[in-house]
Every structure is written in structure tokens, then in C-alpha cells.
Amino acid sequence: MSLFQPLSNYTVISRDKVLDLSQPHIMGILNVTPDSFSDGGQFNAIDSALAHAKEMIAAGASIIDIGGESTRPNAQAVATSDEIQRVVPVVKAIRQQLGSIGKDIWLSIDTSNPAVMQAAFDAGADIWNDVRALKRDGAAAMAAKLDIPVMLMHMRGEPTTMNNLAQYDDVIKDVSAELAARIDEVTNVGVKREKIIIDPGFGFAKDYEHHRALLSQLDSLQTLELPMMFGISRKRFLAEVLTKSGVEAVATTQALERDAVGTAAGLFALQQGASIIRTHNVAMMQQAVALWQQLSSYHQG
């Protein structure tokens, strides 16, 4: 496979907006939670969340992913009313206070709760990013009703149990088969296939060796013939990579010290067909994407 193979010609539509996924997009992470693993509590006030969203858009993000409930291992559940109160005011603030930029930017909601997604959609959100792949009661039906693009992530169990379920005969084949089965299940409920974006679920029910295999063979998931979102930013696998490097200076890292290796991982994913790269550090990822796009353009003549 060429390092500069063009991305597949996918688009997704939300209301009257079209997202062209034949070009790479950067999804900036905006956690409005007190307990997310790398930035909990930093952006859970409206002013700070709005300022951070503006900063990420200026740095090159075309999608802002807003999350009101942490999905880190053993995270505490959040009441529906609390999650709505965290997410919806941020959606409204971006739409109302950032002028034309705020109107044009794509807003994704990182939630598994159909009531939260309904409220966020009514406030102006565009995409449903669900780590549980619409498995909660009423979620698939809600996605069909809203006719909204959905990101279906591969995970086994729940954040509290997933680490015990990281056992695969062949992680590439198993992840692909389980995603395919879930795609069939949600389309049978009325979700349109052309609204689906897949997410291989890095950091969820997978160990170090599973991550190595997935990241080196991510292009295998193209057999599903759907656009892909890739999210590994600041996750434990990156810490394990640095620890195993044998370089003492990077052997022990905090989450926000992993942006360089996360950017490299994002570039590998882009080279293997991922259309959307989800990241905490938009500016760094944008530099890598710019290089890839210009070299890709050169190789395509």
C-alpha cells in the first residue's frame, strides 16, 4: 500500500451540511467533564470550553467532539440531566457566539445516551459519536429518527468490564466481524448505512499487542467500505510504546506528554484510510496532515 494513497470517496450528510471525507478532517476533543483522563475539569465552564473550541478551530479542526461523560476505565456514570447540562450549553454557545465559524463547524457529541443526543441535536449538533455503538436502549431508534451521522466504535462490555474482555483469536478479523455485525443490527433498526462512520476502538477492550496489530493493519477495515474515524490521543498504549522504547527520558509520561507519538499514530492511520483523526492537540496533528496532503498531491501528479 502506498503511503500516499488517496482517501476513499465518502461523504456524510447532516441536515443541509455535507462533510467530504475524501479529504482528511481533524476532530478536536472538547471534554466538558470533571474527570476525563487527560483534561478533566479544564473546560467544564462555558467560557473556557468556548475559548478552547475557538482555539482548535483556528488550528485546523473541522469537527469539535463534545463529551459530557468520561469513558475512561472505571469512570463513574453520569445522570442524564447532568450530561445534558454539560453538553447542550456548549453546543449553543459555539453556534451563537462564534459567528459564521460557529455555524459552519461540525459538532459531534460523544455520548451513548439517546436523550442527550436528542437535546444536543435540537441545539445544533451534527454527529453522534458513540463508544457503545448505539447499544443502549433506544439509541439505534433515536439515531434513525434523527437521521444523523453516527460513529460506531468497537468495544466489548462497558468501561468497567472491558479490560477483562480483551481476548481475541485474531484481533483484526474479530474487530472487523464485530463491527460488521453491529452495522447490520443498527441498519435493521433504520439507521442508514450511508450515515455510518466506523471507529476501531483504540483503548477499549484491547491490550498492547492488540493495538500494535490494529495500528499496523488498519487498512484491513476498509473491507467494510465505510469511512473511518481514528482516536488514540494520549491513551495508555502510547505510554506503553514510550516505556518500551528504552529511552529513559520518555519512559514515564503523563497523558499530555504523549502528543508527539499520538500524532505519529494519527499519520499512520491516515495513510491506511482513516478520514477523521480525533486528537487533543489539533495544531500538532494539522502539521502532520498538511505534510501528508502535499506529498499525496505530489504523488498523484
Q: What is the pLDDT of residue 74?
A: 62
The reply to whether 92 belongs to the active site is no
Catalytic residue, from 132, 195, 206, 278: name it: 278
User: Considering the domain boundaries, does residue 2 fall inside one?
Assistant: no
User: Considering the domain boundaries, does residue 4 fall inside one?
Assistant: no
| Largest distance between two CA atoms of the chain | 53
Closest by CA position to 56, among listed 43, 40, 69, 75 = 43
- How many domains would you assign to the chain? 1
Q: What is the pLDDT of residue 161?
A: 80
User: Could you report the average pLDDT of every consecutive run of 10 residues in the chain (301 residues)?
Assistant: 85 96 97 63 74 96 94 76 94 94 95 98 98 97 98 89 85 98 98 98 96 97 98 96 96 94 98 97 98 92 72
Query: Where in the sequence is the domain holding 92, given as residue range(s)?
Result: 11-300
User: Considering the domain boundaries, does residue 6 fall inside one?
Assistant: no
Catalytic residue, from 206, 234, 235, 236: name it: 235
> Do 263 and 285 form a contact (C-beta atoms < 8 A)?
yes
Whole-prediction pTM value?
Answer: 0.94
Q: What is the CATH number of the domain that holds 220?
A: 3.20.20.20
The reply to whether 132 belongs to the active site is no
DSSP 70: -
User: Considering the domain boundaries, does residue 5 fall inside one?
Assistant: no
Q: What is the pLDDT of residue 51?
A: 93
3-state DSSP assignment of residue 39: coil
User: Considering the domain boundaries, does residue 149 fall inside one?
Assistant: yes
User: Considering the domain boundaries, does residue 278 fall inside one?
Assistant: yes
User: Considering the domain boundaries, does residue 1 fall inside one?
Assistant: no
User: Considering the domain boundaries, does residue 141 fall inside one?
Assistant: yes
